[in-house]
Each structure stands twice: as C-alpha cells, then as structure tokens.
C-alpha cells in the first residue's frame, strides 16, 4: 500500500497501488488545469497548451462580448487567462454559460 511518494502519502493516506496511481494522475491533471486556468505555466511545462487556451479564450471573448474585450482585461495578450476573464464573462453571460465556455476552452487539454 505504497503511494510512491505521491500526493496521498504527503497527507498520510494509503491505498492499493493501482488506485493510488489513478488518484495521482487525477491530481496531476487538476494541477495542470489549475495552471491553465490561472495562465501561469509551471517551469518546464509545455507552453503550447497555454497558447491554445489563450487563443481559444480570445476567440470566445471576441464572439460573445466584443473583439476588443481582451483589452479591458489585460494590456498584454500573454496575460490573458480564464482566471482574469471569468468575472467579466460571468457578469454578462451568466454563471452557467461561462461554465460551458470554460469547458470549451479547456477541451482536450
């Protein structure tokens, strides 16, 4: 019942190796989504995913709010992220539509 130094062992939990591996994979995925959400890549992380998220998000902002909506959120295109655009999108599209939009932005990532 070893956790091979994963997140579970850090919290003092133990479970069968196959389950522990699945949970570890999930936690890695959640961490990756959280980095994509915030727009801050971890050192050594593939930048193409972040570029794709920014591109998709800029397209959605343009279609739903307006082509210049990105300029209201950040002066640099590199800083655009789901974290900074969610309040604006939620205000004008509503919580449910913004949730769907975030799913579309993070699709297959």
Chain positions contacting another protein, by CB under 8 A: 60-69, 72, 87-88, 90-97, 100-101, 103-104, 107
Which residue, 21 or 93, has its beta carbon nearer to another protein?
A: 93
User: Please, are residues 105 and 56 in contact by the beta-carbon 8 Å criterion?
Assistant: yes
Which residue, 52 or 88, has its beta carbon nearer to another protein?
A: 88
What is the C-alpha to C-alpha distance for residues 70 and 3, in angstroms, rounded to an integer?
43
In eight-state DSSP terms, residue 6 is -
Q: What is the maximum span of the chain, computed from C-alpha positions, in angstroms?
A: 54
Smallest distance from another protein to CB 90, Å:
7
Smallest distance from another protein to CB 24, Å:
28
Which residue, 20 or 102, has its beta carbon nearer to another protein?
A: 102
Chain center to CA of 62: 19
Which residue, 29 or 67, has its beta carbon nearer to another protein?
A: 67
What is the C-alpha to C-alpha distance for residues 99 and 109, in angstroms, rounded to an integer?
16
Smallest distance from another protein to CB 37, Å:
16
């Amino acid at each position: 019942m070893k956790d091979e130094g994963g997140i579970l062992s850090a919290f003092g939990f133990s479970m069968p190796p196959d389950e522990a591996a699945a949970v570890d994979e999930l936690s890695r995925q959640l961490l990756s989504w959280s980095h994509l959400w915030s727009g801050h890549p971890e050192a050594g992380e593939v930048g193409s995913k972040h570029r794709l998220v920014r591109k998709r998000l800029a397209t959605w902002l343009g279609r739903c709010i307006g082509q210049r909506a990105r300029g209201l959120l950040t002066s640099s295109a590199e800083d655009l992220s789901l974290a900074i655009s969610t309040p604006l999108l939620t205000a004008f599209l509503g919580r449910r539509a913004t949730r769907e939009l975030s799913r579309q932005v993070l699709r297959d990532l």
